């Protein structure tokens, strides 16, 4: 049996439907997982039931997390938010952290990971950190537009095998203050944190770029999904033995 990875979708309120970029699913399928889209819900019992069938979690990109998650007022530069998705993903991250469930957090997921751990975000990099390189490059979503320096000794360095890689960039928010429980694993050329790991956790990795878009042709991007699935396989085998 393939390890089951729960994937969080975006929600299109106008048309009342979930949305998910196929790149996420394809990267997980290449890694050997069975990816399943999770519901966005405030019902923790439903999420707990979902967890009983999951071996790992993928938090995807999407709308900005509400600044209320990290104790700030919403500024005019903040983008669209999704309170129900916020509630769902905050619960998922906290449960993964407590139960050592492997998870990979991408872009918005990276930001949720920071908020769940007690950190804060720049609501808009361009206005709040004007000396930064240009991060939101929506016009070239699949192009590598800036470098990130990876910290030696981190899981991300082990997976990528390089001190520097070039990445795409589709975010206008970013990490501002990190709690001690989050370890920095990568920074952009301007020093902005773009990679984090949860200390003491077997696999809890967040990146601010979009490796799913690059993964088909870039081994260092696909490696993130492969590693998530390897960790999920370990959990899957443990769950199977316990059930037997």
Q: Please give the positions annotated as active site.
A: 107, 210, 212
Partnered with residue 198 across adjacent β-strands are 182
Contacts of 57 (CB under 8 A, 6+ apart): 5, 6, 7, 8, 92, 96, 101, 102, 103, 104
* Enclosing H/E stretch for 217: none
């Amino acid at each position: 049996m393939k390890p089951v990875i729960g994937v969080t979708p975006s929600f299109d309120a106008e048309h009342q439907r979930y949305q998910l970029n196929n790149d996420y699913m394809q990267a997980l399928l290449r890694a050997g997982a069975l990816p399943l889209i999770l519901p966005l819900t405030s019902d923790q019992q439903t999420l707990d039931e979902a967890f009983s069938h999951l071996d790992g979690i993928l938090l995807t990109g999407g709308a900005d997390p509400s600044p209320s998650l990290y104790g700030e007022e919403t500024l005019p530069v903040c983008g669209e938010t999704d309170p129900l998705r916020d509630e769902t993903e905050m619960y998922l991250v906290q449960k993964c952290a407590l139960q050592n469930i492997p998870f990979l957090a991408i872009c918005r997921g990276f930001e949720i990971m920071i908020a769940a751990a007690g950190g804060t975000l720049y609501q808009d990099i361009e206005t709040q950190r004007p000396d930064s390189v240009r991060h939101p490059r929506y016009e070239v979503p699949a192009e590598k537009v800036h470098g990130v320096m990876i910290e030696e000794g981190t899981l991300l360095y082990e997976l990528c095998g390089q001190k520097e890689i070039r990445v795409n960039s589709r975010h206008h928010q970013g990490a501002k203050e990190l709690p001690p429980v989050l370890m920095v694993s990568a920074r952009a050329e301007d020093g902005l944190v773009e990679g984090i790991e949860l200390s003491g956790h077997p696999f809890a990795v967040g990146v601010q770029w979009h490796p799913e878009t690059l993964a088909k042709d870039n081994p260092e991007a696909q490696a993130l999904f492969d590693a998530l699935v390897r960790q999920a396989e370990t959990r899957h085998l443990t769950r199977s033995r316990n059930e037997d």
